[in-house]
């Protein structure tokens, strides 16, 4: 039952990562100012802190192309969007170059580039000479199709999330960090707020943007969600020469680990695009990187970029993905649990989608039409046999 003494907000967001902060900002931009964000840690201290920050609109699932494109546009006018000349998402438009060997992956690259062009995205196929003109370090003998997207690149997830939180605060939002949500307030089946160690807080609507911790929140609502937690490692390598941001972001579908690579502080950042290692615990402390897997992926990176054959390991870390069966997020209201919205399952590609997803989630929470359809991301799509799987199959390219 509602507690007349409890604090009250129009909307509460659980989780201050890329998704929760973008949604909080958009709630305030849509005029909903009595909003609260609660995070049990710090802003951008969850999986967002470990993100590689890569941005692209290259997808084979059409709704992902639309959301990524709208998000990239928001990254591109970040200071204006936040109405703050000092706001900076750290966007570097290095370009995105995707390479595929002969076979189905090559066909998927060609099809995706054609689909992007059809909606007006500046993307095209390159021949080897054109690719080498953009990235002279590449070895391309085994590559059949090369797609290139000039406007893509990477941004800084920490800067992005903290800037969204600050802009929301300026518009009246309340942000409380080091404040865990410990349960949901229910009234006749409806979610009417959250429980915290400092007491209940009421809200008209609650969004759980809790990423790998989402199962716990869903369990409070009595639902089981299709979420697997998978561990993925990232590392950086140094070569003789500086690896600069003028070199495009790379996606190597010919490598066994389906590597992605980009510049990072003069070094090469390398991450795997494979299924990762399943784990049950979202609260793992610092997970050690697997040295054998790291050496193997470093060798794969050197096969594509021979300048790294003698590369020196600079840093490595492991982060967790909130992976769904089709490797796409679940967004929006929960059938049978009025008052609760969910945003989870970003499956390793949520940062690039987060600005527009924040807009769509905020609109859905306020009962407004969404700028792009949120329906394809509904929770029930798996049971309904309508997973979001495109030409690349289930995986992070999507
Ligand atoms: C290694 C790695 C590389 C990646 N690379 C890319 C990339 O290149 N490009 C890309 O687009 N995406 C990438 N991603 C994915 C992307 O970073 C994530 O999808 C995105 O940052 C997730 O944001 P989030 O807000 O959903 O989650 P999080 O940042 O994890 O935020 C969730 C928050 O919820 C809080 N929380 C949880 N439970 C509670 C509770 N009970 N009470 C209060 N607070 C709670 C947590 O403290 C946390 O801060 C990568 C991810 C990883 C791990």
Report CA(40)–ligand 1 centroid distance (Å): 13
Q: Mutate which of 351, 353, 396 to test ligand 1's pocket (most atoms within 8 Å of Cβ)?
A: 351
Q: Mutate which of 271, 348, 360, 398 to test ligand 1's pocket (most atoms within 8 Å of Cβ)?
A: 348
Answer whether CATH 3.40.50.10800 is correct for domain 93-151+228-323. no
Cα–Cα dist 202/184, whole Å: 10
For 7-52+157-226+326-381, the fitting CATH number among 3.50.50.60, 3.40.50.11810, 3.40.50.410, 3.30.413.10 is 3.50.50.60
Cα–Cα dist 148/122, whole Å: 9
Residue 4 binned pLDDT confidence (cut-offs 50, 70, 90): low
Residue 1's pLDDT is what?
A: 53
Domain boundaries, the chain: 7-52+157-226+326-381, 93-151+228-323
**Contact in structure between 152 and 249 (CB atoms under 8 Å):** yes
**Contact in structure between 101 and 253 (CB atoms under 8 Å):** yes
Helix (H, G, I), strand (E, B) or coil at 99: strand
The 10s digit of each residue's pLDDT in 337-392 is: 999 999 999 999 999 999 999 999 999 999 999 999 999 999 999 999 999 999 99
Helix (H, G, I), strand (E, B) or coil at 367: coil
Residue 168's pLDDT is what?
A: 98
Instruction: Say if residue 5's pLDDT is above 90.
Output: no
Report CA(193)–ligand 1 centroid distance (Å): 23
Checking DSSP bridges between strand 35-38 and strand 174-176, what pairing results, if any? parallel
E strands, the chain, in order = 7-14, 35-38, 54-55, 96-100, 123-125, 145-149, 153-154, 174-176, 183-187, 190-196, 199-208, 228-238, 249-252, 260-264, 267-271, 277-279, 312-323, 330-334, 337-344
- HSE value, Cβ hemisphere, 13 Å, CA-based, for 380: 6
Of the candidates 303, 298, 335, the residue with the CA atom closest to the CA atom of residue 313: 298
The 10s digit of each residue's pLDDT in 12-53 is: 999 999 999 999 999 999 999 999 999 999 999 999 999 999
Of residues 105 and 5, which shows the higher confidence score? Answer: 105
Residue 394's pLDDT is what?
A: 84
- Of ligand 1's listed atoms, the one at least distance from the Cα of 217 is 41
Residue 395's pLDDT is what?
A: 82
pTM above 0.85, yes or no: yes
Instruction: Give residue ranges with CB within 6 A of ligand 1.
Output: 14-20, 38-41, 45-48, 50-54, 157, 180-181, 209-211, 213, 232, 234, 271, 319-321, 346, 348-352
Report CA(204)–ligand 1 centroid distance (Å): 25
Instruction: Say if residue 298's pLDDT is above 80.
Output: yes
Same fold, 7-52+157-226+326-381 and 93-151+228-323: no
């Amino acid at each position: 039952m509602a507690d007349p003494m409890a604090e009250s907000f129009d909307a509460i967001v659980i989780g201050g990562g890329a998704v929760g902060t973008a949604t909080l900002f958009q709630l305030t931009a849509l005029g909903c100012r009595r909003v609260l964000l609660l995070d049990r840690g710090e802003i951008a201290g969850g999986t967002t802190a470990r993100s590689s920050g890569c941005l692209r609109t290259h997808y084979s699932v059409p709704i992902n192309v639309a959301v990524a494109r709208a998000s990239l546009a928001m990254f591109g006018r970040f200071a204006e969007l936040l109405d703050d000349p000092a706001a900076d998402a750290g966007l570097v438009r290095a370009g995105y170059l995707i390479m595929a060997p002969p076979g189905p992956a090559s066909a998927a690259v060609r099809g995706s580039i054609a689909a992007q062009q059809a909606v007006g995205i500046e993307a095209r196929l390159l021949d080897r000479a054109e690719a080498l003109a953009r990235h002279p370090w590449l070895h391309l003998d085994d590559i059949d199709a090369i797609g290139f997207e000039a406007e893509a690149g990477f941004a800084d997830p920490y800067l992005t999330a903290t800037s969204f939180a600050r802009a929301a605060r300026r518009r009246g939002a309340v942000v409380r960090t080091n404040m865990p949500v410990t349960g949901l307030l229910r009234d006749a089946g409806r979610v009417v707020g959250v429980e915290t160690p400092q007491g209940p807080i009421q809200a008209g609507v609650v969004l759980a943007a809790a990423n790998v911790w989402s199962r716990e929140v869903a369990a409070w609502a009595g639902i089981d969600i299709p979420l697997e937690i998978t561990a993925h490692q990232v590392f950086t390598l140094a070569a003789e020469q500086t690896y600069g941001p003028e070199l495009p972001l790379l996606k190597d579908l010919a490598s066994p680990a389906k590597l992605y690579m980009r510049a990072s502080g003069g070094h090469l950042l390398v991450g795997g695009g494979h299924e990762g290692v399943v784990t049950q615990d979202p609260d793992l402390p610092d997970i050690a990187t697997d040295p054998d897997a790291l050496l193997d992926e470093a060798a794969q990176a050197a096969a594509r970029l021979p300048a790294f054959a003698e590369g020196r390991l600079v840093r490595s870390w492991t982060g967790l993905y909130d992976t769904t069966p089709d490797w796409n997020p679940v967004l929006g209201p929960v059938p049978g649990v009025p008052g609760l919205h969910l945003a989870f399952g970003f499956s390793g590609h949520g940062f690039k989608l987060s600005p527009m997803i924040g807009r769509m989630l905020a609109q859905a929470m306020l009962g407004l039409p969404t700028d792009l359809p949120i329906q394809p991301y509904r929770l029930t799509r798996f049971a309904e046999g309508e997973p979001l799987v495109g030409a690349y199959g289930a995986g992070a390219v999507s």
